[in-house]
Amino acid sequence: MDVFGSFALLLAFVCALYALVGGIAAIATRHPLLIKSTRQAGMAACVLIFLATFSVVYLFVTDSFSISYVVSHSNRDLATFFKVVALWSGQEGSLLFWCFLLSIYIFSVLIAYRNKHGELMPYVGTILAGVQLFFLTISNFVTSPFKLLAVANASGALEYYTRPDGSGLNPVLQYPEMIIHPPNLYSGYTGFTIPFAFALAALLARYPGEKWIHLTRKWTMIAWCFQTVGILLGAHWAYAVLGWGGYWGWDPVENASFLPWLTGTAFLHSVMMQEKRGMMKVWNVWLVFITFMLCILGTLLTRSGVVSSVHAFAQSNIGSWFVGFLAVTLAVCLFAYFKNRDYLKSENQLDSIVSRESSFLFNNLVLLVACIAILSGTLFPVFSEWFTGNRISVGTPFFNKVNVPLGLLLLFLTGVGPLLAWRKTSAESLKRNFLWPTIAGVVGAVIVIALGARDFYAIVCFLLSTFVAATIAVEYYRGAKVIRVRSNLNWLSSAVELTLRNTRRYGGYIVHVGIVMIFVGLAGQAFNQEVQKEIGIGGTAKIGPYELLLQALDQKQEKNYVAERMIVEVMKDHKPVMILFPERRNFPTNQESGTMVAIYSTLREDLYVVYAGVNQGSEVPTIHVFLNPLVKWVWYGGIVVVMGTIVALVTPRHAVLVLSGAKEQTQAKGLRTTLPSSVTVREGHD
């Protein structure tokens, strides 16, 4: 199977090379057969990558310990599903997996548009082939997952051998989130290749109008959604596994995944300016280019060892390849831009400073500033070493101090933007739209202060969260009211109908609700408490309203590890709530240990219990307890963001007007003229 897999991978490289070179020739000659053959070569490369990937999975599942990569990341006792996911547990496999996910996107694009956009698709196919070729070069010739175990004998010839068992999978990767976190994150990273290819192709081909924007909107949203889920799953993994009580530590690799998310978010907003008003064409093209390049930069940071990270298991010396690829990508983008920049000319006009357009400009400003600030903070140790010879490290406190105000500014704009009309917003409209949300925000702030909040940023965050939630509620109320009046539906059905009629706008609102929930969860950090103490059997630890009683210590023998457990009874206000089992796991295969945190999670707070070890002198176990308020809001917020994105991807239902007593549904003609005078129709967030 290793021969089959490596041959498939090599053949994929040849096909991708043909798709690139042939694609360039096809663009130059416009020969239909050449165009068709290069498209088919691109699709063949994808199929061959699928086969190579399945070969690696097969080698893992069948314990092929003659393969170096399998030996390093698996062992016989490893559960089968972990053997499957071990594919992306190290350098070689994760790069092949990257290639695999990219191929799914490329294959889908080539199939979906095989008979459409004849002017554009040869460019798109060629660009995609170029990206694919880079990753295939790495997987074939730099870090092949099919490398056999071999030693040189006395005569210098290589002797191949098979190990009886593997070294095992890194313990921290043996956790459910690791099954879905990397695929989601990689799907986000690779997904941004599609809008990049379309933007670059449109620029090179001088493709008319905003078609490339319409073509790539869904792809961008899918990539953005995967990136969001990937980031949140990574945060949950850090929270549940690493045992330090938090979920976001501004680790360089976390930052690397956040950067394209920020620029992708900026693009999803600014693209509306181009669709609605034909503005910001240059900006949008460069936002897409930068987002793609940040994805590559993220991979470079993860794997090059330029910055130290918790993701050290993926580090190697392939960074120079990525630097080269980044340089080539930038050069191609600059060439395309300077060659055809007149194609991006637009007559940008701003009718009023108080308008939706302005809010989008500021939204983009804040997102970009946050992106550059995080990037420069992440690379600051490298810069300081260059300039001073000393590596000055930059950690969580710095990133929090810089990004919390920016985040709050963004939250403010999240509330303000949708309430401003395109072109111009009147003073009357401002008053009408902002009055209730502002009152709600102030009430929200007063409530949290009354509940004991004293942290300035936390209070502001609650104020703004309530404000944004109220703006969305008001928007829904107004829209649903119109439908309710016209169709006699109840409030809930009216709100659903409203959403389905303009999925993009109301899907966006749902995403904003999710973002508000995440901010509420983040604000909860201001009230975190922790206690660490040595605790004998029968001993107790107190934190907030909880009392923890150590009932016993025991051992649990599993197939792949031995777990030492604390059996902790949790009481709240002297009433038993539940039993928690924080664990320490020892993995004999690779002589490593890991933790399994026990969490009692409610919407109000998380009781987070870590078995923190045994005092070497006294042999008394140590318990580390955290009380983290509102953490669950972050995870639920993520779910709402995904739901909103899915809604925004759904094709909107046409508005129908159901007349009382009518037997047939009629297309809603002249809806506006029949509305009650109290209702105002205004362009919304779509």
The pair of three-digit structure tokens given for residue 74, joined into one six-digit string? 């698996």
> Phi, psi (5° rounding) for residue 311?
-90, 35
Beta carbon of residue 309, minimum distance to another protein (angstroms, whole number): 7
Number of residues that bind another protein (CB under 8 A): 63
Identify the residue among 62, 162, 393, 551 touching another protein (CB under 8 A). 393
Q: How far is the CB of 340 from another protein (least distance, A)?
A: 22
Does 677 bind another protein (CB under 8 A)? Our answer is: no
Tokens of 200: 């670059």
* Minimum distance, C-beta of residue 645 to another protein, in the bound complex (Å): 27
Among 118, 208, 324, 395, binds another protein (CB under 8 A): 395
530 by DSSP, 3-state: which? Answer: strand
Q: Binder to another protein among 113, 398, 457, 477 (CB under 8 A)?
A: 398
Q: Which of 159, 165, 351, 554 binds another protein (CB under 8 A)?
A: 351
Interacting residue with another protein among 111, 372, 382, 439 (CB under 8 A): 372
Rounded Cα distance, 320 and 317, in Å: 7
For residue 613, state whether it binds another protein (rule: CB under 8 A): yes
Burial (CB count <10 Å: 0-12, 13-18, 19+), residue 338: exposed
CB of 365 to another protein, least distance (A): 5
Contact, 16 vs 47, CB < 8 A?
no
Using rule CB under 8 A, residue 457 touches another protein: no
Q: What's the rounded Cα separation, in Å, for the pair 49 and 42?
A: 11
CB 671 within 8 A of CB 679: no
Question: Of the two residues 254 and 497, which places its CB atom closer to another protein in the complex?
Answer: 254
Amino acid at 225: C
Interface pick for another protein out of 51, 242, 430, 500 (rule CB under 8 A)? 242
587 sits in which H/E element? strand 583-587
Name the one range near another protein by CB under 8 A: 100-108, 161-169, 370-378, 653-661.
370-378
User: How many Cβ atoms from other residues are within 10 Å of residue 380's Cβ?
Assistant: 16
The one segment of 361-369, 436-444, 492-500, 630-638 that binds another protein by CB under 8 A: 361-369
Q: What proportions of the chain, in percent to the nearest 5, are helix, strand and coil?
A: 65, 10, 25
Token digits for 8? Answer: 């498939």
Residue 373: CB minimum distance to another protein, A: 4
Q: What are phi and psi of 503, to 5 degrees?
A: -60, -35
- Cα 414 to Cα 48: distance, rounded to the nearest angstrom: 44
Instruction: For the chain, count helices (H), then strands (E).
Output: 19, 14
Residue 384 in the binding site for another protein (CB under 8 A): yes
Selected binder of another protein within 362, 436, 477, 636 (CB under 8 A): 362
Q: Does 139 interact with another protein (rule: CB under 8 A)?
A: no
Query: Could you say whether residue 387 binds another protein (CB under 8 A)?
Result: yes
Is residue 353 a contact point for another protein (CB under 8 A)? yes
Q: Between residue 553 and residue 592, which ones bind another protein under the rule CB under 8 A? A: 584, 592
CB 192 within 8 A of CB 295: yes
Radius of gyration from C-alpha coordinates of the chain: 28
x/- mask, another protein, residues 319-338, rule CB under 8 A, reads --------------------
Of the listed pieces 22-30, 194-202, 327-335, 608-616, which binds another protein according to CB under 8 A?
Answer: 608-616
**Cβ closest to another protein, residue 316 vs residue 352:** 352
DSSP 654: P
Q: Dihedral angle at the C-alpha atoms of 364, 370, 373, 377, nearest 10 degrees? A: -150
What's the rounded Cα separation, in Å, for the pair 303 and 189? 15
Neighbouring CB atoms inside 10 A of 348's CB total 14
Residue 550 backbone phi and psi in degrees, to 5:
-80, 110
Task: Name the one range near another protein by CB under 8 A: 35-43, 59-67, 350-358, 554-562.
Answer: 350-358
Q: Does 298 participate in binding another protein (rule CB under 8 A)?
A: no
Among 130, 168, 252, 637, binds another protein (CB under 8 A): 252
Instruction: Enumerate residues 170-189 that contact another protein by CB under 8 A.
Output: 170-172
By the criterion CB under 8 A, which residues form the site for another protein? Answer: 170-172, 242-245, 249-252, 279, 308-310, 312-313, 347-353, 358, 361-362, 365, 368-369, 372-373, 376-377, 380-381, 383-384, 387-388, 390-398, 401-402, 406, 532, 584, 592-595, 610-613, 624
